[in-house]
Structures are given as C-alpha cells and as structure tokens.
Amino acid sequence: MSRNGPAALAFHALFIAFILAPIVIVVAVAFTPEGYLSLPTNGLSLRWFRAIADYPEFVRAFRDSLWLAALSSSIAVLFAVPAALAVARYRFAGREAVLAFFMSPLMIPHVVLGIAFLRFFTTIGLGGTFIGLVLSHIVIVMPFALRLVLAASVGMDRAIEHAAIALGASPFTMFRRVTLPLILPGVVSGWVLAFITSFDDVTMTVFIASPSTITLPVRMFLYIQDNIDPLVTSVSAAMIFLTAIVMVALDRLYGLDRLFVGAGR
Amino acid sequence: MPFLELQSLTKLYGDAVAVDGLSLVVEKGEFVSLLGPSGCGKTTTLQMIAGFLEPSAGTIRLGERDLTRIKPAARGLGIVFQSYALFPHMTAAENVAFGLEMRGVAKSEKAKRVAEALTLVGLAGLSDRYPRRMSGGQQQRVALARALVIRPDVLLLDEPLSNLDVKLREEMQVELRQIQRTVGTTTILVTHDQGEAMALSDRIVVMNRGRVEQVARPTDIYRAPASTFVANFLGKINVLPAIVTDGVVSIGASRWPAAGTTTNGAASVSIRPERIIFSESAGLAGTVKSRIFQGHHWLLHVATNAGLVAVIAPNDGRAIPDENAEVHLGWRADDMALANSERAS
Amino acid sequence: MSTAEITGGGRTPWLLAAPALLLFAGIVVVPIVMTVLLSFHDWGQYKGIETVITLKNWREIGTDSYFFEIFLRTFRIAVLVTAISVLIGTPEAYILNRMASPWRGLFLVIVLGPLLISVVARTLGWALLFGSTGLINVALVRLGIIASPMQFLFSETGVVIGLVHVLVPFVVISVWASLQRLDPQIENAAVSLGASGFRVLRRIVLPQVMPGILSGAIVVFTLAASAFATPAIIGGRRLKVVSTLAYDEFLNTLNWPLGAAVAVLLLIGLAAIIVGSNRLVERRYAQVFR
C-alpha cells in the first residue's frame, strides 16, 4: 500500500476532528466545575457525575435500559440461532425470502416502526408496558443478531458436523458439543451488538415508551427538549465511557471492521 | 461371504446420472480404491456408503445388515474427511475420544483406547495439542486415529492425502498401508491420484462418468487395461495405429508377430513407454523430438510415421539419445496389447 | 465430502426457522398492516379515532402546502446530507485503506465507534457546539471569518451538519467494504502501463468502488430522510421534518390517523427510492461484478 501524501493526511485530520468534536465537547463539559454549561477551564470536577444520583429518574431509566437490552438481545439470539442454522445449512426454496424478511426491520424507518408498534400494542392492550417494549426491541435487534450468527455458521466447515454424526452423535449432541462451541464467537458478538442497538435506540422507543417504562436515551431526549444543562452531558459522558469499554471489548473479541463490514455477506 | 456389498447403486440428480448402477463386492480386510477423474462419481459413492447421501436406487449391505436406510450415526463406519474435519475446540485426545463417548465407553477403557490409537498413528506425545497447533500431516493422523478407535467395520477415506505436499504424501501412503495391515480394517479409499491407488490398494475400481470401467489388482490393471480410458488414466500409454495381416502386425515400416488370435484389418496397438528400448537397427524408426530429465528416468518423445511415441528410459547410466537423433524403437511382442479398430473402446 | 450446503432438506430448515418466522409475522407484519389501515381512519378532537375508511388524511396531505413544505425540506436535507457524506466519506475510506497497520485499525475504530454511541449523546455535542455562544461561532468570529455569530441551531444547516456526522460512518463502511474487495495488483498494472496517480484513481479505482459508494449513499439517504432525534434536537420545534411531524401528530395533537398517513407515505417513498436505486446499481454494475 502506498503512503498517504500530506494533503491526504491533512484531510484525514480534519475528518477525525469532525468525528470527535461533539463527543469530546460532551465529555469535556461533563467535567465542568461550574453550575452552567461551560468548558472545564478552571479545573475538572466530578460534581455533575455525582449529581446524577440526585436524579433517580435517570438512574431508573438506566436500569430499565439495561434490563430491556439484556432481555431483548437474549431472546433475539435464542430465535436467531436456529434460524441462522437453517439458512446457512440448507438451500431451500424461499431461503432468500426468509432472510430478507428477517432483515426487513433494517429497511423500515424507526419512525414507522414506532408508530406501528404504538398502534399495535395499544390495540392489544400492551400499550405502555415493558413487555411491549421488549417485543419491539427484539424486532429491531434481530437483524444484527442474525447477521452475526449467520456469518459464524456459514464460516464453519460443515464436514466437522458430519464427522460428529459419523462418530455416532445425535443431532442435539452434535449441536451442543460441536456446532455451538464453534459459532459461539458469532453468537456472543451478535448478542453484544444487539444489546448496544437496543440500549441506544431512541427514535422508535420514544413513541412507545410511557412514564413507567422509559429508557435512558428517551429520558435524555425529553430532558434536552426543555433545557440543556451539564447534567445531561455527564449522563451522556457516562454512556460514552461505557460504550467505549464495550467497543474495545468487541474489537478484541471480533474486530469492529468485521462487525460492521464483513459480517453476514 | 462378501463383507461389504454394493448392489446396483445409483444416484440421479434430475436427469444427470452421478452414479450408474454400481455393483461391487469387497472382502473383509481388503483395501479397495475408487479411482477416477473429478466428476466420475467416486465421492458420491462414498457419501452414499457413509449415509450422507440417499441412493436413488440400489442397496448397500454390510454382512447381514442392509445399511441403505440406516442413518449415518448408526452405521458405525469410520470416516476420514478430505479436510480432516477435526473439532477445533478439542485436543487431539478429545477428538479421538469423541466416538467412544458417543458409544458410552467407560472412562478408563476410553483413555486406554485413545492412547492406543494415537500410538498406532505415531502421535503418542501430542494428545493435548489442539488442531491449529498441528501440521497437516499430524492433523491427518489424528483424523485417522479418530476413525479407527471406534473399531469400525469399514474405514472410508475421502482423498485424505490430497492436501499434503508430495514428499509427505508418499510417506503417509506407506504408513497408511502399514496401519491398515496392522489393524486389518476393510478400507475404501477415494482418490484421483493413480499412483496413490496403485501403491495402497489390493484392488482398484476405476470409475468414469458414474460407471465402473474395471475392477482388478493394480498390477493386472496396469498390465492389461480394459479400455483406452483405463489405459490412459493409469500411467502413460502409447496407442499406435497398425494393420494386421495373417498374424503379422505392421506398424509403420516395422513388423511384429501378433500374439493371440487376431482378425485381419486395421487395429491399434498399446505399449507402455517404459517397455520400449532403443535398438540398433530393428524396430520402429523415428527421430527424437524432445527429451526431458525427470531425475529417476528420462522421458523422450520420438516422431515416427506411426505418430509421436513416448519412451521412458531409466537413468541408470546408459546412453540416452540426443534430440534429433535417428533411433529405432523395439519392444517384446507380449508387452504389446492389440485391439481391432472396430472394437476399440 | 460435503462442505457444501444440503439442497432441499425437507421440513428441517422450516422447522428451525419457524419460531423466528412466527414471531416476526406476528410483531412486524401485523403492526405495519394495522398502521396502513389506521391511515384510512377518521379522527376528531372529541370523538377520537373512528374506524371507518376515508381518504380524508391522504387528501389533507396531498393538498395542504404545510405538508408539502415539510416533505420538501426533508428531501432537501436528505439530498444534502447524502451528497456531503459521500464527498467526505469516500476519500476518508480510501485514505484509511492506505494506512499502515496500527493506525488503520485505530482510526477505523474511531470512525466507526461512534455508531455504537446513542444518537442523543452525539447530537447533544452538536447542540453544545452550535448556539450563538457555542464553540463554533466563538471560533469563527475570533478567526475573523464571520462578523457576527451564525445561526446554526434551529437551522437547516445545523441539522445537515449534525446528520452528516451521524451518518457519514455508513459511507465509510460501504466504501471500505468495496475497497477490501479490490485486487491491489490492478492498480499496479495501471501504473506499469503509464497511468499517473490521479488518473489511476479516476479511471481504475473509482469505477470499481462505485457500487460501494452508491449503496452507502442509499443507506445514508434513507436514514437521513427518516431521521428523528437529530432534527428534533438541533432543528427544534419549529423546523419540522417528516419524522418529527409524525411525532407531533401522534403524541401532541393525538391525530393518530394523520400521523399514520405521514409515516406510511414516508415508508412508501423510501421503499420506492431504495428499490429503484438498487435496481439501477445492479443493472449498471452487474456485468462487471457477476
């Protein structure tokens, strides 16, 4: 690969600055010692991080977001594994259609999904409930879970499963002792990506959340509509830190570029 | 009593015939190779024996049992796959133990048999190694041990040596044969490498387009190929046009006595390149067009008025004709196989 | 033996996929169908939703210029965001591709990482940067580029910038994927035949990367057109786009049928654009890449 010239590197530097600017500013403001929006030019302070404790609604929203993300990711993965195995292993009529169907939530704007779920859940009596929220999140995270589990299933040497069968393993034993351990990295990455997608979602969730079932991003969104103060920046900064940790872990486990680019072709 | 018997085994994919009514009888302890070019149906046949593919017609019998409808997990055959298919998340010992686990063998007995199997294939010290830390040759041996430890009735090998480099392949061939003789398991090998088939087998089944061309011992097949296809597939062969007149075969300007009964008229003569010698004056005249040194022997192509003839001369210090030299080619009359042109296959 | 897939398989693949299929049929197909139906219902401030079939909402959207303006603005924003994202995302992907090993991975994580951060947090940053006393204006005034602070917040410009930030990683991903599939020897071949750097880019690299650029553009366009959080935060209540309009109708005015009609129109419009562009891309590039 030939090197990049100075012009290219200058462009690149500007691009990176552009990408990092809003994130850096949020984190910077979060550390301000002042009582209003300002840069921490007079020194760093954790006051706004401590202040989060004074706002139980943020803490509760955070906890609810975690539960929601964990539940919907786990259930999505549970459904995705057999579906991925079906698509990876068998070439059956309708396979393309089935795959497209599972990937369809990616193509439907979250606004539309939010409205559709609002109408649906209200009609069947699940309006504003946690269950409704979980169901809707399962839908939007499923494509991510499926894509990664599928990539792992496809990448596995099928002959290994045949070897297990030839040695006398039942289908279930083969799955438990051979297939599952081998696709596990894909399953775990799929779960993590699903978790993050669920945790971060705001556009769809804002339609179906209710005062008793609010997620953290929605809580923040509603708060920002009225005023922007350092509190919301410290919450954001906390979220960014957590995401950064998960991101590094995910990169180590799987590779971020493989996650976004190479998976599920 | 035949040990393994395939009766009219057939596999159709729509209108395409992959295997066409293949019948074969394998004796207990025999080493049989299915040999042929890609697409000849040898792997399909093996897959049917293993149970991963359902035959369109025909049966597979193992002794008294009819295997045809039995699921692969219940057939009790040992299989070594082309890619070895080792379980990457298990050590060599765990891989080998897997089949025993499925059969519920007791722990101590299992450990003993695993150790025996690994020693048999020469990997006694590698029991705790993972596949990705092993060379291709070592992986192949683990795969073999895994298949043999369950004491299968039949061992199926799907081109097991094709991923190894040449030298290793030759070594493994010798070892494979020794192991098979030691254990005595009936073995079926699928390969496209005629050298491998000849080196390992008690009998070779030469296949072409789903059909069996010939089944015989390696030396017999080589000496007396049943068809042009078999002749060309095993070793090199020269096929020269000839005319038979009253017991004399004329090839170009040379004359040869005809062995056996022949009818007069146009015919073709097959002669192996290594059976041809350079003689002073008698024989088929020609000019050396090219000579290629191949270490153990020389390969020469001689232009004659019966066509281009390939000659293999051993590198044992004898004089080898130069390019453009005028030579005469001679051979023993019974090294020559004669076929009448109308009957030519 | 068989590393290939099993053809057919009978009932097994369907049995395996059944749970997920049923789940999806239940909670994807049904709600969408219900929403479409909802768009045909009537609504009144006191009577609420009336489950009749009427074209009232559709007529309203079709005739009232208020709606037309909003759809036009959304379209305009989406086009701008797509164009800018492609213009800056493509070269960045190319530059990244040419970097040496530790930097390449690092910067890829920096560029793609923000996708894992909630859009609220990212847009909050822009809200802080914009504003008359925001950093950007302060810097621009200090540098003498402008005389008085520019209006970023609550302006289309601000929304466009914010959306570019959120969506440009998708262009980078798409172009990066295309670049990975390139045979580096092709560039060398062109150079050996006498082509200079820029020529190589234009005649050799760009045509091969085009499908990646186009599919990235499609993704960005759809996401920009249906964006909610960023326009809501930066654009404010007065600068409406289609998504915030739907939100308004649903959660403020409570005219669900009208909101549903807006959403369905967005869905249809985007579906048409996606399918149309995909077909265009395939037809244009099929012979090169099949």
pLDDT at position C50 is: 78
A172 contacts on B by Cβ (under 8 Å): none
For B52, which of A162, A168, A177 is closest by C-beta distance?
A: A162
Query: How many whole angstroms separate alpha carbon B204 and alpha carbon B31?
Result: 9
Please report which confidence band the pLDDT of residue A264 belongs to, taking 50, 70 and 90 as the band edges: very low
- Residue C187 C-alpha from the chain's centroid: 31
Asked whether the beta carbons of residue C112 and residue A83 sit closer than 8 angstroms, the reply is no
C2 contacts on B by Cβ (under 8 Å): 47, 52
Q: ipTM, 2 decimals?
A: 0.85
- Give phi and psi for C76, each to the nearest 5: -60, -50
**Element containing residue A127 per DSSP (H, E):** none
Residue in C with minimal Cα distance to A97:
C21
C242 touches chain A (CB under 8 A): yes
How many angstroms separate the CA of residue A256 from the nearest CA in chain C? 7
A180 contacts on B by Cβ (under 8 Å): none
Rounded to the nearest 5 degrees, what angle is found at the Cα of A102, between the Cα atoms of A100 and A108? 80
Q: What pTM did the predictor assign?
A: 0.80
Asked whether the beta carbons of residue A167 and residue B50 sit closer than 8 angstroms, the reply is no
Q: Is residue C2 pLDDT above 50, yes or no?
A: no
Residue in C with minimal Cα distance to A247:
C113
Residue in C with minimal Cα distance to A2:
C98
For C120, which of A21, A221, A244 is closest by C-beta distance?
A: A221
Please report which confidence band the pLDDT of residue A126 belongs to, taking 50, 70 and 90 as the band edges: confident
Considering only residues A97 and B155, tell me which one the structure prediction assigns the higher pLDDT.
B155
pLDDT tens figures, C19-44:
888 888 888 888 988 888 888 888 88
C3 touches chain B (CB under 8 A): yes
How many angstroms separate the CA of residue A62 from the nearest CA in chain C? 13
How many angstroms separate the CA of residue B141 from the nearest CA in chain A? 15
pLDDT at position C7 is: 64
Q: Can you tell me the mean pLDDT for C222-240? A: 91
Q: Can you tell me the mean pLDDT for A174-188? A: 91
pLDDT at position B134 is: 93
Q: List, for chain B, all residue ranges whose pLDDT scores fall below the cut of 50.
A: 342-345
pLDDT tens figures, C111-161:
988 998 989 999 998 988 886 567 777 777 777 777 666 777 788 989 999
Q: Is residue A169 pLDDT above 80, yes or no?
A: yes
Hey, what domains does chain A have and what are their CATH numbers? Answer: 52-262 (1.10.3720.10)
C180 touches chain A (CB under 8 A): yes
pLDDT at position C5 is: 59
Domain C32-289 annotated CATH 1.10.3720.10: yes
Please report which confidence band the pLDDT of residue A212 belongs to, taking 50, 70 and 90 as the band edges: confident
How many angstroms separate the CA of residue B85 from the nearest CA in chain C? 10
For B72, which of A165, A173, A182 is closest by C-beta distance?
A: A165
Alpha helices in C41-64, H assignment, sequence order? 56-63
Residue in C with minimal Cα distance to B82:
C1
**Element containing residue B14 per DSSP (H, E):** none
Q: Can you tell me the mean pLDDT for C267-280? A: 86
**One-letter amino acid for residue C90 of the chain:** T
Hey, what domains does chain B have and what are their CATH numbers? Answer: 4-233 (3.40.50.300), 239-343 (2.40.50.140)
How many angstroms separate the CA of residue C16 from the nearest CA in chain B? 20
pLDDT at position B345 is: 39
Query: How many whole angstroms separate alpha carbon C138 and alpha carbon C140?
Result: 6
pLDDT at position B239 is: 86
Query: How many whole angstroms separate alpha carbon B307 and alpha carbon B300?
Result: 14
How many angstroms separate the CA of residue A68 from the nearest CA in chain C? 15
C97 touches chain A (CB under 8 A): yes
pLDDT at position B126 is: 92
Q: Are B327 and B284 in contact (CB under 8 A)?
A: no
A182 contacts on B by Cβ (under 8 Å): 88-89
pLDDT tens figures, A247-259:
888 777 777 767 7
pLDDT tens figures, C236-248:
888 999 999 999 8
User: Which of A4, A87, A115, A252 is the best residue to mutate to test the C interface, defined by the most C CB atoms within 10 Å of its own CB?
Assistant: A115
For B102, which of A160, A162, A169 is closest by C-beta distance?
A: A169
Considering only residues C13 and C6, tell me which one the structure prediction assigns the higher pLDDT.
C13
Q: Is the dihedral of CA B282, B283, B287, B293 positive or negative?
A: negative
Query: How many whole angstroms separate alpha carbon C225 and alpha carbon C87?
Result: 18
pLDDT at position B213 is: 92
Residue in C with minimal Cα distance to B44:
C1
- Residue B84 tokens read as 């070895």
Chains that touch B (3 or more CB pairs under 8 A): A, C
Query: Residue C252 class from Cβ within 10 Å (0-12 exposed, 13-18 middle, 19+ buried)?
Result: exposed
User: Which of C117, C135, C196, C241 is the best residue to mutate to test the A interface, defined by the most A CB atoms within 10 Å of its own CB?
Assistant: C117
Rounded to the nearest 5 degrees, what angle is found at the Cα of A110, between the Cα atoms of C165 and C160? 25
pLDDT at position C24 is: 83
- Residue B210 tokens read as 């789903």
3-class state of residue B284 by DSSP = strand
How many angstroms separate the CA of residue B228 from the nearest CA in chain C? 29
- The residue with tokens 């596995």 is A156
Nearest to A190 by CA among A153, A238, A233: A153
pLDDT at position C288 is: 54
pLDDT at position A10 is: 92
